[in-house]
Structures are given as C-alpha cells and as structure tokens.
Chain A
Amino acid sequence: MVKKSVERIYLSIIFLFLYLPIVVLIVLSFNNSKSKVQWGGFTFNWYIKLFSSKSIMEAFGTTIFISLASALIATLLGTLAALGIDAMKKRNQTIMIGATNIPLLNADIVTGISMMLLFVRFTRLGLSTVLIAHITFNIPYVILNVLPKLKQSSRTTYEAALDLGATPFYAFFKIIWPQIRPGVFSGFLMAMTMSLDDFSVTYFTKGAGIHTLSTMIYTEMRKGIRPEMYALSTILFLIALLLLLFMNFRPSVHKEKGDAL
C-alpha cells in the first residue's frame, strides 16, 4: 500500500515537471498584463491580436508549411526506402539501417552546419534549404517506424497474390499497405513533431528574412516575447492534444497501432 502511494507521488512529480512550463505558458496567454510575473486579469486579447500580427502569422505559416511538407516528402521517400531495404540481403540491410541512424544520432548543430556549408556553395539559403534539411532529418524516423511493420507483415500472402495474377501495384495496396499503414502514420506524425520542434537545424539553414516560430522566438528573446506567441503556442498545443487524443482513443480498429507511436 505504501509502495503504491510512493509510486503515485513519484509519477505525479515527473508529470508536474514535464507539464508545469506548459501550464505557465497557457496561463500567460490569458494574462491581461505584459509583465511576465504579474497577473493582470483574464483576457482573450492576445488571441485576437495574434491574427492581426503579420510577422507572427507569416512565421506560423512557414512553420506549418515546412513541417507538413517535410513530413509528407519524408514519409514518401522513407516508406519507399523501407520497402527497398526490406527486400535487401541481411548484410546490406544492416549497412542501410546503420546509415539511416547517422542523422538521427548526429548532433543537430553539426547536421545544421554541414548542410549550411553545402547549401551556400551551390545556392542561396532560403525556404527550400530549410525544407531539404528538415526532410533529411525526418526520413530516419519514417524508416524506423515502417521497417518493423514490414518485417511483421507476411511475404507469402503478397507472393500468392502475384501468383494469382495481381499486378505488383494492386497487390501492394491490397496486402502490404494495410499492414504497414500504422507505421507510416506514426512515422509521419513523429517526423512532423520533430520538424515543428526543431530549432538548431533551421537556425543554420534558413535564409535572411525567413522565420519559423522557433527562430523568431529566439531572436525576440532579448527584447521580450510578445504575449501573442503564448496564445499561438497554446492553440497549437491544444490542436495537438485533440489530434493525439483522437488517434489514441478512437474506437480501436487498428489495435496494434499504439506500439509504434
């Protein structure tokens, strides 16, 4: 009994640790005072002002575009790659998976800098360089989510379909796709999260005048954050919360879904 309550308390402390800053930011987004420490009453003001701030909306648009586009392209490239890797010989598979781990485990700062050095030699830094960089660090998350699902899926059913006259394309969508879909989805979601939360790589690969929310906050840090930022982050957080709750607690059609994400 004592053990149980100690466990509960420990768990609560960890969750408090993880979520306390988020609570603070949400409270600040409703604070009717520019001061960060004083409570000046409840207001929706920052939420209204947010939509008329051109610079914030622009950074928000860039952030969403980069994370959606990079996650989509990475999912496409990564899923194809996983299919290819799965068909390889054991030895080649090990090499490929090892290589895939490099950008995942490499330091963000080194990834960012090395890409910047490449980009400035051949082109100018801008939106597309950020996009390429994000795709690059996103692909591994997709591959590592899809590959285990491919390994679990049965090869024989696919081959049987081919023997019975199905085109590879048809057989893929009827047999392999349903089995790897949860992995593809969680890979996509993971990629999008990483892209959304990235600062270091964006910081080094972005061109002048382009801002994602992270880099914008970084440059504003010294003169003080506009409260609209808290409002925007709160909205984003709540959207993510609803989205993830929906994915986790919808009537369980794919009950194996959870173990990858």
Chain B
Amino acid sequence: MRNLKRQLLAGPYLLWMAGFILLPVVMILYYAFTTTSGHFTMLNITSISASIHLKSLLLSLKLALVCTIICLVLSYPLAMILNNMKLKRQGFIVFVFILPMWMNFMLRILAWKMLLSNNGVINTLLETLGLPALDILNTPSAVVFCMVYDFLPFMILPIYNAMSRIQKDILEAAKDLGAGNIIIFFKIIVPLTMSGVVSGIIMVFVPALTSFAISDLLGGGKVLLIGNVIEQAFMQEYNWNLGSGLSVVLMIFVIASMALMSSKGEEGGASVW
C-alpha cells in the first residue's frame, strides 16, 4: 500500500511524458501522413527517394559514420590513458570534458571557422613551418571535423566510465595466469568496456546524423545534410507535411541504428554518465 503511494510520485512525470513526448510524436506522424488539406498520403514519406533528399541522407549517413569512427579511435586510447592516471577524483575528468559546453556552442563552431579559414591561425602556422595549407572550409571535411570536436565528450565519458569500473583483481588474475598485455586487452578490457562503447557510438552517431547547425555554419551552403533539408522544409518553404515526412524517415534511421547497436552490447544505453 505504502509502495503504491510512492509509485504515484512518478505520476506528474508520466503525465508530462504523455503530453510532451508522446503527443508531439503523434502530431509529427499526423503531418507526415497527410496532405496540406488533411487527406491521407504516403508522398511525404516516399519523397525521400527524390534524388536531392536521397543524396543528403546518404551524405549524412556517411559523415555520421566517419565522425563516429574518428571519435571512437580517438577516445579509446584516451580513456585508457586517463584510467591509468588513477586520479582520485574521477569527477574531475567529467568536469574537463563538460566545461567547454559552457562556452556557447555556436561561438565555438565559429571559432573553428576562424581558425580554419585561409588566413587563419592554423594555416599561418602551417605556412611558417613550410607545410601545405589546409583548405577544408566549406567542405564536408570541415563539417566532420567540427562534429568530432562537438561530440567527442559523448564518446569519451561512457568509455572512461566503463573502463574505470573494471576491477584490478581481474587484470591481476589474468597476469598471474600468464596472459600478456595483448591478450588482456582483447580478452578482458575490450569485452568489459563494450557497453560503454555502445553508449558512446549511439551518443555520437545520432546527433551527428541529425545535426543541421554545424553543416549550416561550416559547409558554406554546399554541404546539405538531411537535417538541413528538414530545417529548410519547415523554416523556408513552410512545407510542414514534407518536413514531417522526412523527419519520420530520419526517426526510423535513428531507431534502427540504436536497435542495431544495443543488440550488440548486452545492456547499452543508460550508463552514459
């Protein structure tokens, strides 16, 4: 009885979820499957096969994949190094990676734009060193670069968390039983950090797949991701039905990639922070 009363504490949250998570999804589905006059149609969904839409979806998938791989490759050794430092306060690590978020996201991207520009700091530096200039602004490379910059913490933190939970005894036992460093890495460290890797991949891949602001700022109007197409459908063409249809397609891709990943790692998700 007492238990039931306590469960009721989740009531306001349930109502909130129904009103502001479930209902909006219903709305977007409604718009996606109707015409402007309210008749049923599949055209908004099938318009994804139009060549511009398909091209931007494929480009988004490609960039998101590249971004995720780069983040993973950078983060894994980083997490190992951080873990080996045996800091007393693990909170400090999280702190270091969260802190940049307090500098406005837009401004940070803008700062990269300045740094990467033709007469920016990085190219001046490369020039004095006698190296060829880096001319990546307004290309997909610049977009991937800033995506990696923006989403890297979301890969590092879950992997670091998983790694710091590995008990030292297990590693020592493996050593006592004659395992070398390589065997320990592949047989113990990798499997035990898998849940962190899965969380990290989801936390990077999904925002990378769906972002529109970074490509808008750095692509110079030449890099059109699916997020940009949706944003333009809503804010410039005022074609809400088309925008909703494309959003639903995007949602399907997000759900599919999440399902694929969580089936790989046993528990996945939730252990992000």
Contact = CB atoms under 8 A, between A and B. Distances in A.
A145 B98 CA distance: 15
A240 B102 contact: yes
A248 interface: yes
B186 interface: no
Contacts of A81: 9-10, 12-14
A11 B89 CA distance: 18
Contacts of A21: 103, 107-109, 111-112, 115, 149
B100 A22 contact: yes
Interface string B88-103: 0111101111111111
A148 to B, nearest CB: 9
Nearest to A234: B103
B95 A244 contact: yes
A107 interface: yes
Contacts of A99: 17, 21
Contacts of A121: 27
Nearest to B110: A225
A221 B105 CA distance: 13
Contacts of A236: 102-104
B99 A244 contact: yes
Nearest to B199: A105
B191 interface: no
B81 A11 contact: yes
B182 interface: no
Name the interface size band of chain B: 35 or more
A245 B95 CA distance: 8
B244 interface: yes
Interface in A4-62: 7, 10-11, 14-15, 17-22, 24-25, 28, 36-37
A18 B152 contact: yes
B10 A193 contact: no
Contacts of A102: 21
A194 B272 CA distance: 14
Nearest to B109: A21
A240 B101 CA distance: 10
Contact of A83 (B9, B81, B251): B9
Contact of B212 (A106, A162, A200, A229): A200
A204 B159 CA distance: 32
Contacts of B82: 11
Given A37-B119, A87-B3, A109-B247, A259 B106 contact: no
Interface residues of A, number: 88
Contacts of A214: 104-106
The A interface is mostly helix, strand or loop, or mixed, namely: helix
A153 interface: no
A87 B5 CA distance: 9
Which of A15, A81, A97 gathers most chain B CB within 10 Å? A81
The B interface is mostly helix, strand or loop, or mixed, namely: helix
A96 interface: yes
Interface in A149-185: 162, 168
Contact of B24 (A22, A115, A139, A143): A115
B43 interface: no
Interface stretch (B50-58, B172-180, B203-211): B203-211
Nearest to A186: B273
Interface in A206-223: 213-214, 217-218, 221
Given A97-B270, A107-B251, A193-B101, A114 B231 contact: no
B270 A101 contact: yes
Interface string A68-107: 0000000001101101111110000000110101111111
Contacts of B78: 10-11, 14
B126 interface: no
A199 interface: yes
Nearest to B146: A21
Interface string B144-181: 00000100110000000000000000000000000000
A125 interface: no
A107 B10 contact: no
Interface in B5-41: 6-14, 16-17, 20-21, 23-25, 27-28, 31
Contacts of A7: 81, 84
Contact of B16 (A136, A197, A241): A136
Given A18-B152, A19-B100, A114 B25 contact: yes
Given A109-B230, A197-B101, A244-B99, A139 B91 contact: no
Q: Which 8 A-B pairs have the closest CB atoms?
A: A258-B91, A84-B10, A81-B13, A107-B210, A21-B111, A114-B24, A240-B102, A84-B9
21 contacts: A24-B121, A77-B12, A80-B13, A81-B9, A81-B14, A88-B10, A97-B270, A101-B269, A104-B272, A108-B211, A110-B247, A113-B28, A135-B16, A136-B21, A190-B98, A193-B102, A199-B213, A200-B211, A214-B104, A236-B104, A258-B90
